[in-house]
Structure 1
Amino acid sequence: MSPPYVLVLYYSRTGSIAQLAREIAWGVEKTGMAARLRTVAPVSTVTEATAPAVPDEGAPYCTLEELADCSALALGSPTRFGNMAAPLKYFIDQSSEQWMQGSLIGKPAGVFTSTSSLHGGQESTLLSMMLPLLHHGMLITGIPYSEKSLLDTRAGGTPYGASHMAGTDNVTAPDDHERRLARALGERLGRLASALSARHPGA
């Protein structure tokens, strides 16, 4: 069995979500817990895309086994009309066997997103990503208001999860508040995963 790890699973088309994912992974590893960055392949409008087994760049594609074996999960997607993007939903929709086996029950989970505008559906997207995780029996964790950046941010960042406003050209990098909140989410997941793994080492 592999050592405990937090799976940071995301879909990123323009790179904004990938940037947040790296900040979350940084927060996870600050706690001493390993972070495993993984992405999902795009989907075709006609049939399942015949993509290479390993992407040309960025994180490797996630397997359902990695999902089942994680100690905690950070799930990230750009906003698509107030909902998660189709490639990530397609991957989650394949996890029926993990649901039947209860592989994710009792494990911490958090969510993160990015939009091109401030009111582009960040919170509804975060809430939509929580729904399948609740069906899997995961323990949803957000970001508490003890994080000062949650009160000071003028861009992304919500109590439901980390977020980023990328701008209409999708080139705006996360600002200090957005980075701090993403790292805070990673730290929270790392601490929770460490505590639960120590209490249930065989789980």
Structure 2
Amino acid sequence: MSCQILVLYYSRHGSTKQLARAIARGVESVEQCQAILRTVEELTTKSASNSGDPVVSIKELKQCDGLAMGSPVWFGNMAAPLKHFWDQTTSLWIAGDLIDKPACVFTSSSSLHGGQESTAMSMLLPLLHHGMMILGIPYSEPQLHTTTTGGTPYGASHVADSSTQLSIEESELAFALGKRLAQTARKLK
């Protein structure tokens, strides 16, 4: 039986998308696990998401065995399109459809102290309300001790500065988080 891990993200300039791809590679390194990359709808027609992935449906969220959710830092908070999606999940909350499913978060900011931890925490709130089991990156991951860019115990992260390209540590930590999420989902299933 296959484990379906939803890698849900919003990306304006491509950095969060790169993290999503690294997490998906980690998910798919686990036997019998598949990453399903999805984004959310834009709120206005003036802005365009830089994803290329299909827009998520409530049904896909309900059916997933695990969730990785990512957003760029927007004033220390998750991006409005992602928040808007979660505001439409009341039916899943009432039914308890996400209870005990493992989840993790990831984020990208333009500067080292740009609000990554507060953004990660903002994404955790709806997951906790849905009864999901939160996973972070444990300090047993050696790159967490050496990174000078992104990567936190709250989840994978990237400091974009002037590039969407992930550092080696950022990529390895995102991969490790995806792998941990898939292994946990597989055990729980």
**How high is the TM-score relative to the length of structure 2?**
0.95
Classify 1:56/1:140 alpha carbon distance in 2 versus 1 (closer, same or farther; 3 Å): closer
Shift of 1:56: 9.4
Q: Which runs of 5+ in 1 are unaligned?
A: 198-203
Equivalent residue in structure 2 for 1:184, among 168, 176, 179: 176
Q: Is the 8 A contact 2:14 2:50 kept in 1?
A: no
Aligned to 1:19: 18
Aligned to 1:5: 4
Measured against aligned partners, the alpha-carbon deviations of 1:50-73 in whole angstroms (never above 9, x if no partner) come to: 99xxx8961100000000110000
Shift of 1:4: 2.7
Classify 1:147/1:57 alpha carbon distance in 2 versus 1 (closer, same or farther; 3 Å): closer
When Rg is computed on C-alpha atoms for both structures, the one with the higher figure is: 1
1:182 and 1:56 map into 2 onto residues whose CA distance is 19
- Indicate the SS of the match to 1:193: helix
Shift of 1:191: 0.1
Measured against aligned partners, the alpha-carbon deviations of 1:84-113 in whole angstroms (never above 9, x if no partner) come to: 000000001100000001110000000000
1:190 and 1:172 map into 2 onto residues whose CA distance is 25
- Is 1:135 paired with 2:129? yes
- Is 1:30 paired with 2:45? no
Measured against aligned partners, the alpha-carbon deviations of 1:12-43 in whole angstroms (never above 9, x if no partner) come to: 01000010000000000001211100001110
- Indicate the SS of the match to 1:88: helix
Q: What pairs with 1:118-133 in structure 2 (closer than 5 Å)? A: 118-133=112-127
| Displaced runs of 4 or more, over 3 A | none
Aligned to 1:43: 43
1:50 and 1:192 map into 2 onto residues whose CA distance is 39
Aligned to 1:59: 53
Q: Which runs of 5+ in 2 are unaligned?
A: none
Aligned to 1:201: none
Aligned to 1:200: none
Identity between Structure 1 and Structure 2 (%): 57
Classify 1:3/1:196 alpha carbon distance in 2 versus 1 (closer, same or farther; 3 Å): same
**How high is the TM-score relative to the length of structure 1?**
0.88
